[in-house]
């Protein structure tokens, strides 16, 4: 059965394809795009399996949009769908099971862009990166998983910390970085539960991925993975206070995205005339190469930071005291130990949790917010950089839509004045928010008024600088 469309006019502008347009999270995303200040500059198509549900979602919009009925398990239908747009925004998770690989494969082959809100690290490391990164780099497709609360705040705070440090001390490098996540009034939906179940029911070898799982064995890490802790205690002279943190459930995934950014900032992958894929460690600072129309590579100037070989990185859930952090960590151990460790107890727990496609009322989610405080340090000279990333709305279901939408728009709309996409974005491949969108995404998020980002040097008051 071919994809079924309902047209609402021609589309000469960049077109976004919203996969999973009838999902719980998509309601916020569609409204945001429909009322976006740049809405005259792009079009978007609602994609789903159920025509009546698509019509219902479309009816809630100010401007009626085109809808597209697609069975994602059918490769030919997905191929025709991808041909219709410039960038796919995929909300149809769990991504391992809901045919995201088919969409990514078609985007990579056709040179179309792709963003999602995936948090499934082992799937990315074992199925997506090895199979589609090289193809995407040949066609110019930019494939960027994890463009929501997983893992934009994590990736951009360290990216901005580097830019802040380099603007003040061009030769300095960050040696350690820790982010404290202060999350308030967050809700839990059936979609999150479905993602957890998709992991719980898999064999362990299919769910585990190391911190450096999205890097290359040709460039092995110089520093071992940072061990998890029940309590983080961090004293910062620049802050003038002690911060306490509990174990943060998203850290094991977020760090693999951060490590890929670190890796991509240092390594150049080039396709030789023979077709071999090689990796060269230690790309010169401020320089990177992108393919030309011929067989060679052209070196171009880049303002993007090059990360150090060794960076100690950690994330934690911010709490008010040592005791509260300890108790919160212990509670997580008990809950997730039971959930993932016992199929019988998991079935009992499921009776009291939301079903897929459901979640908290919109009014409740609008009260949510979060603040990420990142403290990064340079050893030589000794400098502290503080970067904050604040988001309005429930982080996983409202703010994540803002992050996803602006990530996609960063790839297809002209960059804000004074910004440009990173060189790797011109080349393509499986990238990260920092290496694909960089300062363009930072500026677009700032302009929404729903995200506030600030970075400064924490030294003597007269030395403070902002970006």
pLDDT at 176: 95
Task: Kindly tell me if the per-residue pLDDT of 40 is higher than 70.
Answer: yes
Would you place residue 456 in the very low, low, confident or very high pLDDT band (cuts 50, 70, 90)?
very high
| Contact yes or no for 182/370 (Cβ under 8 A) | yes
Question: Between residues 380 and 112, which one has the greater pLDDT?
Answer: 112
Output the pTM of the full model: 0.88
Average pLDDT over residues 77-99: 95
| Contact yes or no for 17/47 (Cβ under 8 A) | yes
Classify 386 as helix, strand or coil.
Answer: strand
Would you place residue 170 in the very low, low, confident or very high pLDDT band (cuts 50, 70, 90)?
confident
Q: pLDDT for 42-75, tens place per residue?
A: 999 999 999 999 999 999 999 999 999 999 999 9
Across-strand partners of 352?
Answer: none
Q: pLDDT for 277-329, tens place per residue?
A: 333 333 333 333 333 333 333 333 457 899 999 999 999 999 999 999 999 99
pLDDT at 188: 67
Across-strand partners of 289?
Answer: 299
Percent of the chain clearing pLDDT 70 (strictly above): 83
465: its two tokens: 């600088």
Beta-carbon contacts of residue 364 (< 8 Å; ≥ 6 apart): 185, 187, 394
Classify 243 as helix, strand or coil.
Answer: strand
Kindly report whether the peptide bond that precedes residue 381 is cis, defined as omega within 30 degrees of 0. Answer: yes
DSSP letters, 293-312, are: SSSSEEEEE--PPPPPS--E
**CA gap 155, 153 in Å, rounded:** 6
Return the domain boundaries, the chain: 152-264+307-463
**CA gap 269, 292 in Å, rounded:** 14
| Contact yes or no for 456/385 (Cβ under 8 A) | yes
Task: Kindly tell me if the per-residue pLDDT of 112 is higher than 80.
Answer: yes
Task: Kindly tell me if the per-residue pLDDT of 126 is higher than 50.
Answer: yes
Average pLDDT over residues 443-449: 97
Q: Which of 25, 252, 282 shows the shortest CA–CA distance to 154? A: 252
């Amino acid at each position: 059965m071919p994809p079924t469309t309902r047209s609402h006019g021609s589309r000469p502008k960049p077109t976004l394809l919203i996969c999973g347009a009838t999902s719980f999270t998509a309601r916020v995303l569609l409204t945001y795009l429909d009322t976006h200040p740049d809405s005259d500059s792009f079009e978007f198509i609602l994609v789903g399996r159920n025509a009546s549900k698509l019509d219902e979602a479309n009816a809630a919009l100010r401007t009626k949009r085109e809808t597209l009925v697609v069975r994602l398990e059918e490769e030919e239908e997905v191929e025709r769908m991808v041909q219709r747009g410039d960038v796919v925004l995929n909300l149809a998770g769990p991504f391992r099971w809901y045919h995201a690989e088919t969409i990514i494969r078609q985007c990579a082959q056709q040179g179309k862009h792709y963003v999602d809100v995936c948090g499934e690290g082992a799937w990315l490391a074992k199925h997506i990166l090895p199979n589609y990164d090289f193809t995407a780099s040949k066609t110019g497709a930019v494939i960027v998983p994890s463009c929501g609360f997983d893992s934009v705040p994590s990736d951009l705070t360290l990216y901005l910390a580097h830019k802040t440090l380099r603007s003040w001390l061009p030769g300095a490098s960050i040696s350690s970085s820790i982010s404290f996540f202060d999350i308030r009034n967050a809700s839990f939906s059936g979609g999150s539960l479905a993602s957890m179940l998709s992991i719980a029911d898999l064999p362990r070898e299919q769910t585990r991925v190391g911190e450096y799982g999205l890097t290359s064995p040709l460039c092995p890490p110089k520093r071992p993975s940072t061990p998890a802790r029940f309590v983080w205690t961090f004293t910062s002279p620049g802050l003038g206070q002690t911060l306490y943190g509990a174990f943060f459930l998203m850290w094991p995934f977020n760090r693999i995205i951060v490590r890929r950014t670190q890796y991509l900032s240092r390594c150049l992958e080039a396709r030789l005339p023979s077709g071999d894929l090689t990796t060269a460690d230690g790309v010169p600072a401020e320089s990177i190469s992108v393919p030309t129309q011929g067989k060679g590579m052209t070196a171009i100037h880049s303002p993007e930071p090059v990360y150090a070989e060794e960076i100690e990185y950690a994330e934690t859930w911010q709490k008010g005291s040592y005791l509260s952090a300890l108790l919160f960590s212990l509670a997580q151990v008990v809950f997730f130990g039971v959930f993932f460790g016992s199929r019988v107890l998991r079935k009992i727990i499921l009776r009291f949790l939301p079903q897929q496609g459901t979640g908290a009322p919109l009014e409740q989610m609008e009260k949510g917010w979060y603040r990420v405080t990142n403290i990064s340090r340079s050893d030589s000279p000794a400098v502290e950089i503080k970067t904050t990333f604040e988001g309005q709305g429930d982080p996983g279901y409202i703010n994540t839509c803002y992050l996803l939408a602006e990530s996609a728009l960063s790839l297809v709309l002209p960059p804000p004045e004074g910004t440009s996409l990173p060189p790797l974005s011109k080349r393509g491949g499986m990238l990260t928010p920092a290496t694909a969108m960089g300062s363009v995404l930072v500026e677009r998020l700032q302009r929404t008024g729903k995200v506030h980002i600030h970075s400064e040097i924490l030294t003597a008051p007269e030395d403070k600088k902002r970006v």
